[in-house]
């Protein structure tokens, strides 16, 4: 039996993990434990490093759908965070605090990167799509184009200052996985998704019973990705709701996708034999 390589001898596989609205890095760590464990098992020659930042916007009880604060006290401290808040009054749609959320991610990328890829859930998946786009070559020009336009009373948002800051450098992600993801709506955010569409390979994992994110919103993100994601097998449905599926077929789907993208980035025509593919369940 070949010796198990020590952690110091293994190649790092660094993944940025972005939690959903009302969650935290700690909570997402707990909910994605099966996924990360499966990835590490599938890549024994790598040291999988999953980094879980917590979003900068601390939410109030009134920000939580269905939350009933004690004695109607909206100042109650709760451990719920978001990357942005959607305005209830702005038309077209406006994400309040988005620049702050993006800046928090930029800080993690600078201090703890470079990252090979990103995995996000719900609002974190929406953020993953936007951050992946921001790291792509030529994206800043798209922001300049849409910022000049005035559509439905709003031009595009400017290119985030945190990604244009002197000294900020990070290569494009090799992969992104969006669980229950969606596209930021309206004309303000077109530059994240158009001219060009998102070039980073994205695997979309969706729940057929998801009652939180409408299918049309998830399909808008799928349509914003280059190529034909559905035809290319980059859209996976699980028979559940708004959560990360932990059943073996869906964990295997994530592993296969990551392996394919790492092999492409390394210029390999054949997958590395880190795990016998015959040991993996076929999800569909």
Three-state SS across the chain? CCCCCCHHHCEEEEEEEECCCCECHHHHHHHCHHHHHHHHHHCCCEEEEEECCCCCEECCHHHCCCCCCHHHCCCCCCCCEECCEECCCCCCCCEECHHHHHHHHHHHHHHHCCCCEEEEECHHHHHHHHHHHHCCCCHHHHHHHHHHCCECCECCCCCCHHHHCCCCCCCCCCEEEEECCCCCCCHHHHHHCCCCCECCCEEEEEECCCCCCCHHHHHHHHHCECCCCCCCCCEEEECCCCCCCCCHHHHHHHHHHHHHHHHHHCCCCCCCCCCCHHHCCCCC
Would you say residue 152 has pLDDT above 70?
no
Verify cis geometry, omega within 30 degrees of 0, for the bond prior to 92: yes
**Is the model's pLDDT at 277 over the cut of 50?**
no
pLDDT of residue 278: 35
How is the chain split into domains, by residue range?
7-279
Q: What is the mean pLDDT of residues 162-168?
A: 96
**Which is the CATH superfamily of the domain at 7-279?**
Alpha/Beta hydrolase fold, catalytic domain (3.40.50.1820)
Using CB atoms within 10 Å of the CB of residue 217, give its burial: 0 to 12 exposed, 13 to 18 middle, 19+ buried.
middle
pLDDT surpasses 90 at 136: yes
Least confident interval from 30-34, 166-170, 183-187, 275-279 = 275-279
For residue 150, the model assigns a pLDDT of 60
Catalytic residue numbers? Answer: 122, 210, 242
Which pLDDT belongs to residue 148? 77
Q: pLDDT tens-digit profile of 208-258?
A: 999 999 999 999 999 999 999 999 999 999 999 999 999 999 999 999 999
Confidence of residue 282 (pLDDT cuts 50, 70, 90): very low
Question: Which one has a higher pLDDT value, 270 or 250?
Answer: 250
Task: Give the pLDDT score at 275.
Answer: 43
């Amino acid at each position: 039996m070949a010796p198990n390589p020590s952690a110091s001898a293994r190649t790092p596989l660094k993944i940025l993990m972005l939690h959903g609205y009302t969650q935290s890095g700690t909570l997402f760590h707990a909910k994605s434990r099966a996924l990360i464990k499966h990835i590490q098992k599938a890549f024994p020659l790598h040291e999988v490093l999953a980094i879980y930042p917590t979003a900068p916007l601390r939410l109030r009880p009134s920000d939580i759908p269905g939350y009933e604060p004690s004695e109607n006290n909206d100042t109650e401290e709760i451990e719920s965070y978001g990357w942005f808040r959607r305005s209830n009054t702005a038309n077209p749609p406006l994400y309040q605090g988005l620049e702050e959320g993006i800046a928090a991610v930029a800080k993690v990328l600078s201090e703890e990167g470079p990252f090979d890829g990103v995995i996000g859930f719900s609002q974190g998946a929406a953020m993953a799509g936007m951050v992946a786009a921001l790291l792509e070559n030529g994206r800043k020009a798209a922001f300049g184009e849409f910022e000049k336009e005035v559509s439905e009373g709003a031009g595009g948002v400017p290119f985030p200052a945190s990604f244009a800051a002197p000294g900020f450098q990070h290569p494009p992600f090799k992969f992104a996985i969006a669980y229950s993801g969606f596209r930021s709506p309206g004309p303000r955010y077109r530059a994240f998704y158009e001219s060009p569409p998102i070039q980073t390979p994205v695997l979309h994992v969706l729940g057929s019973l998801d009652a939180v994110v409408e299918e049309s919103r998830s399909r808008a993100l799928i349509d914003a990705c280059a190529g034909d994601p559905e035809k290319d097998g980059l859209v996976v449905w699980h028979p559940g709701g708004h959560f990360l599926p932990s059943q073996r077929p869906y964990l295997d789907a994530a592993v296969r996708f990551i392996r394919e993208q790492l092999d492409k980035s390394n210029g390999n025509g054949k997958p590395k034999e880190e795990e016998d593919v015959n040991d993996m369940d076929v999800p569909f």
